[in-house]
Amino acid sequence: MKDLESKAGRSGIDADPDAEWNTKHAEFLAEFAALIDREGLALQAFNTFGLDDKTEEMQGRMRSRAMQRITSSQDWITAKQIAKLDSLDEKAVGEQLAAWQHASLIFAIDIGGTAHFPLYGLAKDPLRPNPALKHVLDTLAFNDPWQTAFWFHSANSYLDGRQPQEVLAIEPNKVVAAAREQANWVPNG
């Protein structure tokens, strides 16, 4: 009981042996929701279970950590970096990427005010979007490019636990199918 009292930070009968488990469970659910949230469905499910008082804070922390993990990866490139690598005109590259983005052929996340494009979404010689990426983007139809990035950077059970970004170039049809499963996912309840 003393261990529980010290862990719970309380004394006597108020110590809750399930408090740590409940906290970890709520954090797991928040992390899961951040990964699968589509148009607010996960948040709605949390509110149904009475977790809404901590959900927003937990989702914010999880989103921040996921964004940090993604931005620290080497999976993103700017128009300026592409132009420099391929000895191309930066303005022309930027215009082409913007046109592809407008046509939903590629997406970009904003890092420090600059559009960063996923390397896994681009093919070389000549530089162009991976054709499967348009199907994935159209299928997922996330309003937030960060949600798209989260999806590509998360383990996916339909891809045997691999991340869609790892599989896109080698098995594009499987990634498109995984996106369809995500889009068709309906929460219980």
pLDDT over 80 at 32, yes or no: no
Q: Phi/psi zone of residue 108: left (φ > 0), alpha (ψ -120 to 50 degrees), beta?
A: beta
Structure tokens at 39: 């148009």
Which among 146, 147, 166 has a CA at the least distance from the CA of 156?
Answer: 166
Q: Detail the DSSP E strand segments found in the chain.
A: 76-77, 109-111, 114-118, 122-123, 128-129
Please tell me the predicted confidence (pLDDT) of residue 33: 56
In the chain, % of residues over pLDDT 90: 50
Residue 126 has a pLDDT of 82
40 Cβ partners below 8 Å, 6+ apart?
none
- Residue 149 backbone dihedrals phi, psi, to 5 degrees: -60, -40
Residues 6+ apart with CB under 8 A from 120: 75, 130, 152, 165, 166, 168, 169
What's the average model confidence in pLDDT over 50-55?
62
- Confidence (pLDDT) at 183: 87
- Residues 85-105 as b/e (b if ≥16 CB within 10 A, e otherwise) read eeeeeeeebbebbeebbeeeb
pLDDT tens figures, 83-105: 998 888 999 999 999 999 999 99
Task: Using pLDDT thresholds of 50, 70 and 90, give the confidence band for residue 12.
Answer: very low
pLDDT digits (tens, 9 = 90+) for 132-160: 999 999 999 999 999 999 999 999 999 99
Lowest mean per-residue pLDDT among 16-30, 53-67, 135-149: 16-30
- Average pLDDT over the chain, rounded to an integer: 79
Q: What is the mean pLDDT of residues 156-170?
A: 94
**Model confidence pTM above 0.75:** no
